[in-house]
Amino acid sequence: MHHDFIEINPDWVNYLISNARVLKDFCFWNLALFLQSKNPNVPDIPNKLIKPATRNGLNKQRIQFWDVVIEELGTVNCIYTGQKLTKGNYAVEHFIPYSFVSHDLIWNLIPADKSFNSSKSNKLPLLDKYFEPFYSLQKNAYEIIRRKSPNNKLLEDYLTILHIEQISLNQDKFKEIIQPLISIASNNGFEFMK
């Protein structure tokens, strides 16, 4: 005999109805863990499956990190345009697009020319051209924040890629993290900047 339904014990019906959200979340969580284990090079699969309704602003990263760095240095140059950026006159930009990494961790954020930031959109930076200036800006910023504000919670964002606390960012290690992400994003259809 062929059945196309599941028969549930009536004693369980109320329990299942009242806990449907928890059961659904449990299923999604285990699906996300399974997908992440089978796709270790794709970052943050759970947040790609279920994006938050609204994205967080980047004010915390601007005020607590990049404003402090720019105040210390006076200005920084936009790595894309060479434009001098001053406190309050820049956009906080994702080096690897947010739509790929699904996070706002400080190691992937840099100040950029406001007009360039909007035109870059979801494009990938060319590593041959932009990695060195990106790394130099990140290294300077990391060292300044460690010195001026060693308890700054945003420094913990670097632990997600370095796995240990270090006195300074190692260029080769940083590139070993960034390069595969750019390649995977490209393989998934993200275009490079012209």
pLDDT computed for residue 90 by the predictor = 95
Where is average pLDDT lowest: 7-11, 43-47, 130-134, 180-184?
43-47
Adjacent-strand bridge partners of 93 = 110
- pLDDT tens profile 57-84: 899 999 999 999 999 999 999 999 999 9
CA max distance for the chain: 79
> pLDDT band at residue 167, thresholds of 50, 70 and 90?
low
CA distance readout (Å), 18 to 15, 27, 134:
5, 16, 50
Long-range contacts formed by 154-157: CB under 8 A, 24+ apart:
154/60, 154/61, 154/64, 154/65, 154/106, 155/106, 157/105, 157/106, 157/107
Whether the per-residue pLDDT at 5 is higher than 70: the answer is yes
Domain ranges of the chain: 10-49, 59-187
The confidence band for 165, taking pLDDT boundaries of 50, 70 and 90, is low
Mean pLDDT over residues 18-36, rounded? 86
- Per-residue confidence at 39, pLDDT binned at 50, 70, 90? confident
- pTM of the predicted protein model: 0.76
Predicted confidence (pLDDT) per residue in 77-129, tens digit: 999 999 999 999 999 999 999 888 888 999 999 999 998 888 888 999 999 99
